[in-house]
Amino acid sequence: MTGKTLLITGGTGSFGQKFTEIALRDHHPKAIRIFSRGELLQIQMEKRFNDDRLRFLIGDVRDRNRLSRAMNEVDVVVHAAALKHVPACEYNPIEAIRTNVDGTLNLIDAAIDSRVDRVILISTDKAVHPINLYGATKMVAEKVMIQGNSYTGGEKPRFSCVRYGNVIGSRGSVIPLFLAQRKSGRITITDERMTRFWIQLEQGVRFVISSLQRMQGGEIFVPKLPSMRLMDLADAIAPEAEKVFTGVRPGEKIHEVLVTEDEARHTREFDNFFLINPEHIYWGGSTLPGGRPITGDFHYSSQMNTHWLSKEDLQRILMSEGWI
């Protein structure tokens, strides 16, 4: 990214702010354009960084013309903008589709017209076997992003995705909820069996940056992550609090999956990540070489993981992140 111009959609969010911090400090871009809807968060971010390499653009991914203008002379696009709150997406389904699906289509079209070098989508484990609208929209976003390569014939731009689990302490994370409930001495948990993949925000950003460097176009990059039991998280935050079980919410899973059995047939394993190759390479391109083919009946799910965070591990992470 050295000397390049970057565009981050949804750039004022937790991911965008951390990505900006690391990129400015470690990768020396020519400029980073922060594209988002809210002026207040942009003003706060501008004051926080106070860096003349930052550009702040008010805009919505639903607006194709604004995206095209924002991408003028851009080299790299990181697409993090989305409606992410599961109940909000269920209550506002058309709005979720317009942002998460139509917005991604607009971004692909604008990137092709602007001849950017590479585009990467930030996806989620909710896109795998989706049972809620948010997950379904992200599944479609992944599909159209990967097949965006068909429109460029393997030339510029190249399109890939990163898919990972819950981010510790991000907006919408259960951690702030548990911290608030701790004061009352009573924590609500939907189901004691629940497990999740977890990643720290900086780890997620660095994985995206490494994927940008590796990508050939068409890959879905999945980091190897530890799993965590929600009960352990509650005990790490509030060991003395009463635990109240409320039942699984609509649209919520007991466990999450990052690589399905069907995807495993065209997935290769590397030391620190899995690489899901596209099922249809209509553009005739090639993806990242190397790795080991996955054999047997494999799927990468949070309850079948070999790497687990203990309560002590969680407490250390929460302390290092300043949550407790």
Type of residue found at 41: L
- What is the enclosing helix (H) or strand (E) of 36? strand 31-36
Which positions are annotated as active-site residues?
Answer: 126
- Which residues are registered as beta bridge partners of 163? 123
Residue 234, number of CB atoms within 10 A of its CB: 22
Residue 184, number of CB atoms within 10 A of its CB: 10
Sign of CA pseudo-dihedral 185, 190, 196, 201: negative
149, 285 Cβ separation under 8 angstroms? yes
* H helix and E strand count, the chain: 12, 17
- The values of phi and psi at residue 238, to 5°, are -140, 75
Residue 72 three-state SS? coil
